[in-house]
Amino acid sequence: MEKIVDTQELAIGMYVKLRSEWIQGTGLAKEFFITDPGQLRQIRNLSLRFGKVFIDPDKKWIPSPIDTMTHPDDLQPVPSANDTSQAPSSSQLRQNLQQAAANTTLSPMEKATAVYDSARSLMQALFASPTAEFIQDSKSAIGSLVDMVLEDDDTANALLKVTSHDFYTYTHSVNVGTLSICLAKKLFRKETGHDMRELGAGFFLHDLGKIRVPLEILNKPGRLDEHEMRRMRIHPFQSFKILQETSQLSEECRIIAMQHHERDDGTGYPLRLRGEEIHVYGRICCIADVYDALTAKRSYKEAMTPFQALSIMRNEMLHHFHKEIFQDFVMLFSKQEKK
Ligand SMILES: [Fe+2]
């Protein structure tokens, strides 16, 4: 299958197909996976002359583990300490969330709380047991949450208020998923062509690869040493890998998993992309991710208030973000103040 895309939508990892007149004298092949920022720039420059480009969204690129600074040990799954034998099934957790999202008798705040709590339970169970079935049920449940956010402004705003801030990865995933989908709704309200349900799944599952990072590293108070940092920095690749292995990968999920730690000034990881090399989906998730990290309580730091976090992001970290997307993110909260 082929799909025409605007070159601004192109990203590392996509499989492009170029017409003969594009590649004359360029040294580029007719079709290939985009694997580095130089190729991305070259194709964008060519598109100034030739227009839109074809991609094949069915072809999946798996980056070499070496590219992502990994170590063979890092590829071993880390067994979960949680006993899941008594846990509710994935379909039960999916139904709980879907029922909460469809409940018309609750106030927006009650509904938001019920949906948020269901989403946390679902993600907690998913992180303990990321099977294909669980991921499938999670995607379906997240789809219902996304539909609710798109259709119901009051509950969407309430959802932003009920986020909690412990140090668990599954809580972080729900927060980042919620924030990102609200930001995407704001950014894409006049655009078509974004599959918001797939996007929602990508935002919620972006950190799934952390199950392959040892807990003592994930929860270490204070700075990580160089080896620990290397292991931590493979989690975008591992998220991608898990979604790939369980055949639950879409274009949107792949971009989000791989790019949520890239930074606009090129200081992020794993590929040190910069500026326009980072897809808008990756940029959205990056902003939500940083915000949630700042407002979360950790054993070694107090939680910041939303105002403190947004101030630090604007005054000290703005070079990490796309400025206009960040402005839209700030607006999500100013809207809340007026309510
Ligand atoms: Fe992450």
The sign of the torsion formed by the CA atoms of 119, 120, 121, 125 equals: positive
Query: Residue 232 Cα, ligand 1 centroid: separation in angstroms?
Result: 9
User: Mind listing the pLDDT tens digit for each residue in 78-126?
Assistant: 334 344 445 678 889 999 999 999 988 989 999 999 999 999 999 999 9
Looking at residue 126, its amino acid is L
Percent of the chain with pLDDT over 70: 87
Please give the Cα distance from 188 to 192 (Å, whole number): 7
Rounded distance from Cα 260 to ligand 1 centre (Å): 6
| Sign of the torsion angle spanned by Cα atoms 7, 9, 10, 16 | negative
Residue 299 CA, ligand 1 centroid: distance in Å? 19
Q: How many Å apart are CA 217 and CA 213, to the nearest integer?
A: 7
Tell me the C-alpha distance between 97 and 313, whole Å: 32
Ligand 1 mean position, distance from CA 291 (Å):
12
Q: pLDDT tens digit string along 236-275?
A: 999 998 888 888 778 888 899 999 999 999 999 999 999 9
Q: Which residues, 6+ apart, have CB-to-CB distance to 19 below 8 Å?
A: 50
Peptide bond connecting 130 to the previous residue in cis, omega within 30 degrees of 0: no
In the block, residue with structure tokens 């309510």: 339
The alpha carbon of 180 and the centre of ligand 1 are apart by a number of angstroms equal to 13
The pLDDT mean for the chain works out to: 84
Distance between Cα 32 and ligand 1 center (Å): 28
- 88 CA to middle of ligand 1, Å? 27
Centre of ligand 1 from the C-alpha of residue 338, in Å: 32
CA 97 to centroid of ligand 1, rounded, Å: 24
How close is the Cα of 206 to the center of ligand 1, in Å?
A: 7
